[in-house]
Each structure stands twice: as C-alpha cells, then as structure tokens.
Amino acid sequence: MEHLKQLIRDIPDFPIPGIIFKDITTLLKEADAFVEVVDRMAAEYADQAVDVVVAIESRGFIFGAPLAYKLNASFVPVRKFGKLPAQTVTKEYALEYGTSTLEMHVDAIQEGQRVLIVDDLLATGGTARATAELVESVGGHVVGLAFVVELCFLSGREKLSGYPVFSLIKYE
C-alpha cells in the first residue's frame, strides 16, 4: 500500500500542537486512488453479508457511502451531538485530542442486522469503540470495523479487542 501511503499528507500540529494530522484530501483528489481504496475495502467484505454500513462523521462518510453502495447495504450516519433530527442514542467518548459525543438515530438499525463500521482513520480507537457500542445498544451485530488509515503506534486495536478490524494503510 506504499503507493497509497504516499498520497497521504502529514500536517504537523493540527488541530493542536503535538498531533500529526493525516490529511486524506490529497488521496481523494487522485481518482484512481479513491477508486482503489473503496474497491479494496469492498472486496474485504464482499462475502460477509453486510446489511448496514455505519459511517462516522465526517470523513467516514466519504468512504462509507460508496462502500454501502458497492456492498448493496444500507447507509447509516453516526454524527456529532446535536446534528440528527429524530430520536437518538448517544455515547460520550475520548479522542486522541479532547472528548466528544456521538449520536445515531434509534431506529437506524434493526435487531440482528449485520453492521460494518467505517471511518477514515483509527487512532486510539475511542471513536470506533463508542460507535460499536451505539450499534450494539440498538441490537446491531458488528461484523467488522474498517479504516483507510491505522496509526498502529496508538494501539487502537486493543480498545477494539473482540471485533474484527481491517485497515488498508498502516503507520507503525
């Protein structure tokens, strides 16, 4: 995945000092690379009978929506607090930088549906863990969590132990 990795831009000290932000917009503007990322993620789950792709605001939407389309699955957005209009379930969580609250519509997933969670990047795993808990709180079954980028040195996988985790581009 070295050719894809080269398309991701490091932005030091964004959004706060000490964080090296992985900027995926430089990958997205290369049409072939965007297609390859979505195709590779879809291939990983092609035989997993995914019913629902749950994607995390906001960069998760960029990859989650075409993945849902390719897997012929529903698309469900998980959003930051206060954005969703109908009744929600909520979960507070810790970020690599700060804390936040995620929300999902309470009727977004049916009991027993097979759910794939998608985000652009796995850092400490707090965001993904909170999302898995939201999905399970309404009866969804998490079949996997998929990320374009994984910051392995932050050990996000440990926070997601028990769940199958897939990532395309790894930083050790």
| Amino acid identity for residue 81 in this structure | F
**Catalytic-role residue among 30, 36, 44, 96:** 96
Q: Which is nearer to ligand AMP, 13 or 39 (CB)?
A: 13
Q: Using DSSP, state whether 93 is helix, strand or coil.
A: strand
Instruction: Identify the residue among 104, 125, 140, 148 touching ligand AMP (CB under 6 A).
Output: 125
Q: Active site includes 59?
A: yes
Q: Which long-range contacts (CB under 8 A, 24 or more apart) does 162-170 make?
A: 163/132, 165/122, 166/41, 166/44, 167/122, 168/1, 168/4, 168/37, 168/40, 168/41, 169/1, 169/4, 169/5, 169/8, 170/1
Calpha distance 89→101 (Å, rounded): 10
Instruction: Identify the residue among 64, 66, 77, 126 touching ligand AMP (CB under 6 A).
Output: 126
Q: Which is nearer to ligand AMP, 27 or 122 (CB)?
A: 122
Instruction: Identify the residue among 38, 76, 78, 123 touching ligand AMP (CB under 6 A).
Output: 123
Instruction: Identify the residue among 113, 127, 131, 167 touching ligand AMP (CB under 6 A).
Output: 127
CA-to-CA dists, residue 128 to 64, 98, 105, 124, 147, angstroms: 14, 15, 17, 9, 10
Calpha distance 165→53 (Å, rounded): 14
Instruction: Identify the residue among 143, 156, 165, 167 touching ligand AMP (CB under 6 A).
Output: 156
Q: Which is nearer to ligand AMP, 83 or 86 (CB)?
A: 83
Q: Using DSSP, state whether 96 is helix, strand or coil.
A: coil
Q: Does 124 bind ligand AMP (CB under 6 A)?
A: yes
Q: Does 22 bind ligand AMP (CB under 6 A)?
A: yes
Q: Which is nearer to ligand AMP, 18 or 82 (CB)?
A: 18
Q: Which residues bind ligand AMP (CB under 6 A)?
A: 19-22, 56, 59, 95-96, 119-128, 156
